[in-house]
Amino acid sequence: MAALRKRLCSSSSAGEDVLCDAAAVESLDDLQHPSAPLLCCHSVQDSLLSSNSSFTGYRGVLNWIIILLVLTHAHLFLENFIQYGFLIDVKKVLGHMIEDNCNWPSVNLLLASSMFILVSFLLERLQEKGLIPPTVTHRLHLTNLGLLVVFPAAVVLHVPTISTGGAFFSLWFYTTLGLKLYSYQEAKRWYRGARPDDSRRPSVSPGEDVSSVLSAGLCYFLLAPTLCYQRSFPCNPRVRVNKLLHRLLEGVVLIQIMVGIVQQWIEPIFQRSETSFCSMDTTMRVELLVGLAAPTHFLWLLFFFLTHSYLNFCAELLRFGDRHFYGDWWNATTLIDFWKNWNVPFQKWCDRHVYSQLVERNVPPSQAELLVFLMSAALCEYLIALPLHCCRLWIFIMMVIELLVALLLGKYFHGNYGNGLVWLCLLLGPPLAVTTYFHDHYVFDPHRSRQPSTQLPVDHGGLLQT
């Protein structure tokens, strides 16, 4: 009976005390019948699906949702195939990258980036030798970085032969390079300030590890999947070829799936529109956004997995040890948590070179966070709008709206409800705004408008064609 009393009084939901009927339990002590335990079979417990329950075993529900999504969208793909036929054409994707007359302005633009790298390196060498004052070096670095930002934007806007794919890749490359070089010159300046005689130390000490020496150079930093410079990076002992091939295969498969979604699912929706998103009435806008919500969201998730594969491929190839590229953003209960975990390398760069510097200059932390967020929103607008030659500020405005949602509704949505709000904002937020840019670019595509009207839909220009 003592064991029965202990078992009854310890049965409860996690974190809550059991309200045990002591009189009922004590009365069991007088019962000597073998069926006595059956007389008390209840205890205080929460339903598994209630908000007070600590139950987390939803794997079966997740499997059910995945199967339901696959069957539902398989039906949509079947209807799409019956109506439009097989639209996937990889050659069209390559056509968006190849530029006219073998001029290859995007390739020339990428080669020209070596000049900015060389200038940054030479400035640091001259500074280490004491040939240039620190203030002059810093100003020359900022001038070099300013030209690095302006130069690719001017080429993309004023060279008509550059392809949309080439413009996208060039701008992303130059933006990453600019962030890296800024971190490089800032970290070098911090090292000199911390130890004035440190710049004159030998580059290789007798007992220094070879991997530390190799990871200390600028070239390694520019290739490594990080935006923050330091003298040496943690390195793995060897390159695992099986992991390298696994990430490479992942990237190839994901690119094929993304191409299929764009050409087979998104492009037919674009073909039904003959006016820009701004010129549509409210009903047509809602219809277009509802039709694009699912494929855009899938494309965004695939882009995340492609980024995961690419960054891990580079890290494995270079034996780069720090592979914390993202946190568990899918479990974020607030949008602020999502932004902190979605892109960890960029978040580290912002904390190190923007937020902390603003706080040191007596800027309130809340205002510093707001400035960092607005900078990231403007950067997203720049990277999408400039290659497509249309600046609508939709991405910037959508991110500002998400910030207002986080501030106004964040205190009312917690736990699972907060996570649901995050996913809703991801479904109807910036990824959908990005797709409207591509929609307007597709509608006003001059190559598409010159095609004969009798041509089949399958021969129309692609989503990124210029």
Distance CA 421, CA 157 (A): 38
Block residue for tokens 């509608």: 443
What are the CA-CA distances from residue 3 to residues 13, 26, 29, 44 (Å)?
19, 12, 11, 18
Note every long-range contact of 401-408, with CB atoms under 8 Å and residues 24 or more positions apart, other chains counting: 401/429, 402/335, 402/429, 402/430, 403/335, 403/373, 405/335, 406/334, 406/335, 406/336
Whether residue 83 lies inside any domain: the answer is: no
- Determine the 3-state secondary structure of 413 from DSSP: coil
Whether residue 380 lies inside any domain: the answer is: no
Whether residue 7 lies inside any domain: the answer is: yes
pLDDT, tens digit only, all 466 positions of the chain = 455 454 444 444 444 444 444 444 444 454 555 666 666 777 788 787 777 777 777 778 778 887 887 787 777 777 777 777 776 766 666 666 666 655 678 888 889 999 999 999 999 888 888 888 888 999 999 999 999 999 999 999 888 888 888 889 999 999 999 999 999 999 988 888 776 544 444 343 333 343 443 445 888 999 999 999 988 888 888 999 999 999 999 999 999 888 888 888 888 888 887 788 878 888 888 888 888 888 899 899 999 999 999 999 999 999 998 999 999 999 898 899 999 999 999 999 999 999 999 999 999 999 999 999 999 999 999 999 999 888 888 899 999 999 998 888 878 888 888 888 999 998 888 888 888 888 888 877 655 543 333 333 333 333 333 3
Residue 163 CA to its chain's centroid (Å): 24
- Structure token pair of residue 285: 């806008």
- Structure token pair of residue 40: 């008390």
Distance CA 324, CA 249 (A): 21
Cβ proximity of 97 and 110 under 8 Å: no
Torsion angle (degrees, nearest 10) of CA 38, 43, 47, 52:
-170
User: How many helices and strands (H and E) does the chain possess?
Assistant: 20, 0
Range of the domain at 8: 2-34
pLDDT of residue 378: 93
- Determine the 3-state secondary structure of 279 from DSSP: coil
Q: Which residues contact 323 (CB under 8 A, 6 or more apart)?
A: 225, 311, 312, 315
Cβ proximity of 252 and 232 under 8 Å: no
Q: List the one residue out of 238, 262, 295 whose CA is nearest residue 465.
A: 262
Q: List the one residue out of 16, 7, 85 whose CA is nearest residue 268.
A: 85
pTM as predicted: 0.78
Whether residue 392 lies inside any domain: the answer is: no
Whether residue 17 lies inside any domain: the answer is: yes
**Terminus-to-terminus CA distance in the chain, angstroms?**
82
Alpha helices in 11-104 (DSSP H): 22-27, 59-84, 90-97
Distance CA 161, CA 287 (A): 35
Q: List the one residue out of 67, 60, 74 whose CA is nearest residue 294.
A: 74
Burial class (CB in 10 A: 0-12, 13-18, 19+), 376: middle
Q: At 235, phi and psi to the nearest 5? A: -125, 145
- Structure token pair of residue 363: 């800027």
Distance CA 385, CA 438 (A): 9
How many Cβ atoms are within 10 Å of 255's Cβ, its own excluded?
Answer: 15
pLDDT of residue 455: 36
Whether residue 16 lies inside any domain: the answer is: yes
What are the CA-CA distances from residue 38 to residues 4, 29, 41, 45, 213 (Å)?
10, 13, 6, 18, 72
- Structure token pair of residue 66: 């995945």
Please tell me the total count of domains within the chain.
1
Whether residue 319 lies inside any domain: the answer is: no
Whether residue 9 lies inside any domain: the answer is: yes
